[in-house]
Structure 1
């Protein structure tokens, strides 16, 4: 028969001599007795296989001893056996309610006693495995729930950040979202138009600002002591209270924070693009305004020029008519000259009318552009832009 590992047994008895009442075959049990329950709890480790309480005291004391052992953290699943002595019996219901696993007596054959102990130890070890499996499953579940929570926070931040129209709002929204992680941070947003350094209060700290500026090109993560700088694009975040004693937690924080920084960088670029469009729009509005002024000046000058030209031609025609009487011309020659002068006057008037029509069309275009790019609207109306584009 193959040898088996002996069970480690700790026995509590008021009288150490009672331990020998039970005949235990050598090689099956390694026994150590205690007359003090406090000493047993202090000296016996959680690896003990069986705890035995001898019935050599009153029932209340035995029940109290079982409760004390079961409530001890390291003995939560350790089998507790109550061993009855000759002439001493207990109420089994009270004993089992106190945490006892089994009750044995001296008349029990050794093989039956060994079988019961085998069963108790097997059940305890199986329960230990089940507890460990349950703990692992709970940890995995909590990890999944945490990851889901982090994902929800990230998605919510990405949604909320789309409503931020300037750098200050974006920074404060990021700090608000990071409160879940209980981190103390400093932030630097490098917009095309300005560099914004800020704390949770919205104010700037000079030392942190200089540090972020110096480390912005030193890599994605820069660790020194409890501080960590996270760089991505136009955004740098200084974390001042990293849990350096927990490397796994540090890694989780970095992985969780990075999507927030990436989203902030994307929104910052969008804000820059929006600001650029506003600058271009303001420039176009000024150009259109200047063009309108130039058009008005050109229109006045053009009108004066055309009228002056028409007046000169008409005056020349009138003078020619007056001069014909003194030139001694034939009737045919007079008619020829009059025809030429009449055609000249008609031609210059036709040119004047055509110029007025062209000027009115150009003026209408400038007026429409002024309506689209005028200072009254915050952004050009899309429908107006499409209408104007169709006329170009």
Structure 2
């Protein structure tokens, strides 16, 4: 697009000379009086103004000042028949960017205008670069904030102990992108549905259930975006399609959110299975412990009865010894045999008690290991309320 150039000159010959010198690369406008030049300020914003300072009605320096005040980005070239120090100072104080003596060489004028043109283009390029850099910086800030939102969801979803908490975290995070969404988790015929405004209507719940039967993972209907995973489906009600770049980023973010939620739901199901297995294990251990305690009691009773029988037998034998007519050595041998048998019975009883201690240790170990089994869901409930969001920007 050619630069807008305004010539302020009252002499026709000089004006024609200027028009011929500026013919290439400029869209030329002409003001034959100072008043006409000032009138151009109302509807024209010239890039370059060439002013004859010896205008008959208004001094060219005043015209220069008016343009510099209203259009400081424009370039002003003053032309004067005076080529002395005072003329240069007057042009400078009026705000002129350059000065040339009249009459002038066409090449000199063209060179000065070319410098203006290059400066104008350089400034335009710089402004474009600044705008690009600013847009890039703002985009980076926006992307960082969006990344922070995704990271926060990963943190919250990892602490979700059930599908209700997971669904709430998913809808809340999607809403932070200024989107109205509805999401549904479906598993074994059970549905949980939620939208940005709270509980979904029966119609919305049915619609999501119907859409979930489609095998397509991501699809759009006008402004609506559907992200469909095997157990979780999310609908964005109004994507910002008028902003293609933002719309593309949000589409990627929402897809990541739903996929992460799907993976976390798999984890929740696995944790529920572990908790079920843990409950069965604890029940089995309780039954084993009860059986061991029962056996232990029966063993103690039997061991006590055996010890009493041995002691009664020993007492009766001692009473009958006097009637057997045995020698002292024979009596001592019989007493030693009975005492040895009694000691062996006592050792067997003590071994039984030691075995009971071993069983008790095994039960205690099994209980400890069961209590230490993965149970992230229960652990998360005590920390879920206190977790802080990650704010990158």
Query: Shorter-chain TM-score: what band?
Result: 0.5 to 0.7
- Where does residue 236 of structure 1 map in the other structure? 233
- Where does residue 148 of structure 2 map in the other structure? 152
- Where does residue 290 of structure 1 map in the other structure? 287
- Where does residue 54 of structure 1 map in the other structure? 31
- Where does residue 388 of structure 1 map in the other structure? none
Cα 1:304/1:101, change in 2 over 3 Å? same
The superposition leaves residues 274-307 of structure 1 with CA deviations (integer Å, 9 ceiling, x where unpaired) of 4444434433333333333222222222223334
Q: Does 1:135 align with 2:135?
A: no
- Structure 1 residues 328-339: aligned runs within 5 Å: 331=326
3-state secondary structure, aligned to 1:22:
helix
- 2: CA distance between counterparts of 1:121 and 1:85? 25
- 2: CA distance between counterparts of 1:229 and 1:311? 83
- Structure 1 residues 214-225: aligned runs within 5 Å: 214-215=211-212, 218-225=215-222
TM-fit CA distance, 1:216: 6.9
Cα 1:370/1:132, change in 2 over 3 Å? closer
- Where does residue 94 of structure 1 map in the other structure? 66
- 2: CA distance between counterparts of 1:18 and 1:191? 90
The superposition leaves residues 44-64 of structure 1 with CA deviations (integer Å, 9 ceiling, x where unpaired) of xxxx94453515363xx7446
- 1: CA distance between counterparts of 2:7 and 2:104? 22
TM-fit CA distance, 1:342: 6.5
Return the match for 1:255 from 228, 231, 252: 252
- Where does residue 37 of structure 1 map in the other structure? none
- Structure 1 residues 164-183: aligned runs within 5 Å: 164-183=160-179
Indicate if the aligned counterparts of 1:189 and 1:196 stay in contact, CA closer than 8 A. yes
3-state secondary structure, aligned to 1:237:
strand
Cα 1:201/1:246, change in 2 over 3 Å? closer
Cα 1:202/1:165, change in 2 over 3 Å? farther
The superposition leaves residues 361-383 of structure 1 with CA deviations (integer Å, 9 ceiling, x where unpaired) of 42354356557768xxx99xxxx
- 2: CA distance between counterparts of 1:49 and 1:216? 65
Higher relative contact order (CA 8 A, sep 6+): 2
Of residues 112-121 and 85-94 in structure 1, the stretch that sits farther from structure 2 once superposed is 112-121
3-state secondary structure, aligned to 2:44:
helix
Q: Which runs of 5+ in 2 are unaligned?
A: 81-101, 377-393
- Where does residue 387 of structure 1 map in the other structure? none
- Where does residue 199 of structure 1 map in the other structure? 195
Aligned residue pair count: 341
Q: Does 1:23 align with 2:23?
A: no
Return the match for 1:184 from 180, 185, 200: 180
- 1: CA distance between counterparts of 2:198 and 2:306? 69
- 2: CA distance between counterparts of 1:264 and 1:82? 71
Indicate if the aligned counterparts of 1:188 and 1:196 stay in contact, CA closer than 8 A. yes
TM-fit CA distance, 1:238: 1.8
- Where does residue 79 of structure 1 map in the other structure? 48
